[in-house]
Structure 1
Amino acid sequence: MTEITNGTHIVIANSEKVLYLVNTTDAEDPYFEVMDKETQDNPSDIEQSANRPGRMADSQGNKSAFQDTDWHELAKERFAEDIADQLYDLAHHGKIDRLVLVAGPKVLGNIREALHKVVQDKIVAEVPKNLAGHPLNEIEDILAAELKAA
């Protein structure tokens, strides 16, 4: 069982939004304060693509298309890297002792992949759920229940 003790930092993220929270009370009745929040403007891939995919003829005259870069997906991965960089900066400067990461499984994996060891050592729990659109009081209740059950 992991508790969200006083001073525990919580990161709630999806592929376009991140909330940096801190618990200002005890583990029995957590109360999260928003320390920072960021959103990423990430239009669809079609809106970001400048050209149609290139085409190439093979030796038999058949044409096939090259796979174009998925700019939307690339921006999601870069956003996860930005979150990891922000967490490194906070951990490196001693501003995080305990950290709970909360994101959908794919986003959580992208963030985890980009995390520095200094940040990894601060993680006390990971919750593979997308809670980025929930109000703070619901997030508090959901996380308290999730972590008690773990």
Structure 2
Amino acid sequence: MAGIPRKALVFVGDGRKALLLRNEGDDRFPNLKAEAVFEDQNPATHLQGTDRPGHFVKGIVSGQRGAVEPTNWHELEEYRFTRRVARAAEAIVRSRRATALVIVAPPRTLAQLRATLAPDIRRNIIAEIPKDLTRLPVGEIEKHIVEALASPTR
């Protein structure tokens, strides 16, 4: 792939922060501009839920008991945040304001996006880059994406 097409939407995010960037340049010289910025306030798991794990009886005759894995509220909120941001990206792509979609996210968030995005939106994905670039300035994000797209191992 040569680069990021003009008017492509670039999703850069993890489970806490996401940037939706639009390429206002061309595919050789991208110029990413912020379309939307999302930041989630996700307190630590112990602050979100205090219930102890539940227990159950495996068999009435045997009397064996088992424990239920505690809910990871922090992880659950990250998934909800990813879904909310995915819906915003879908709205932009469906409105035809974006010609293509590039996703840059850590592997776990990338997997959540694949499961969340509608099939008609997934068809617009031209590249997936499994990196966390959310803490970098936009200029550095551009460089990383261009390098990743130009890499022959892609």
TM-score if structure 2 supplies the norm length?
A: 0.88
Answer whether contact 1:101 1:125 (CA < 8 A) is retained.
yes
Q: Where in structure 2 are the equivalents of 1:1-150 lying within 5 Å?
A: 1-56=1-56, 64-149=66-151, 150=154
Quick one: distance in 2 between partners of 1:138 and 1:24?
Answer: 16
Answer whether contact 2:2 2:27 (CA < 8 A) is retained.
no
| 1:94-147 CA distance string (max 9 Å, x none) | 222211000000100101110101211111111010100111111111111110
Quick one: distance in 2 between partners of 1:62 and 1:24?
Answer: 63
> After the TM superposition, which of the residue ranges 20-29 and 139-148 deviates more from structure 2?
20-29
Amino acid of the residue matched to residue 50 of structure 1? T
Q: Give how far 1:5 is off.
A: 2.1
Answer whether contact 2:2 2:28 (CA < 8 A) is retained.
no
Amino acid of the residue matched to residue 19 of structure 2? L
Amino acid of the residue matched to residue 126 of structure 1? E
In structure 1, stretches of 5+ residues that fail to align are none
> After the TM superposition, which of the residue ranges 60-69 and 116-125 deviates more from structure 2?
60-69
Identity %: 29
Q: Give how far 1:2 is off.
A: 4.2
Amino acid of the residue matched to residue 18 of structure 2? V
Quick one: distance in 2 between partners of 1:120 and 1:127?
Answer: 14
Quick one: distance in 1 between partners of 2:81 and 2:46?
Answer: 19
Q: Give how far 1:56 is off.
A: 4.6
In structure 2, stretches of 5+ residues that fail to align are none
Q: Give how far 1:4 is off.
A: 0.7
SS state at 1:38 partner: strand
Q: Give how far 1:33 is off.
A: 0.6
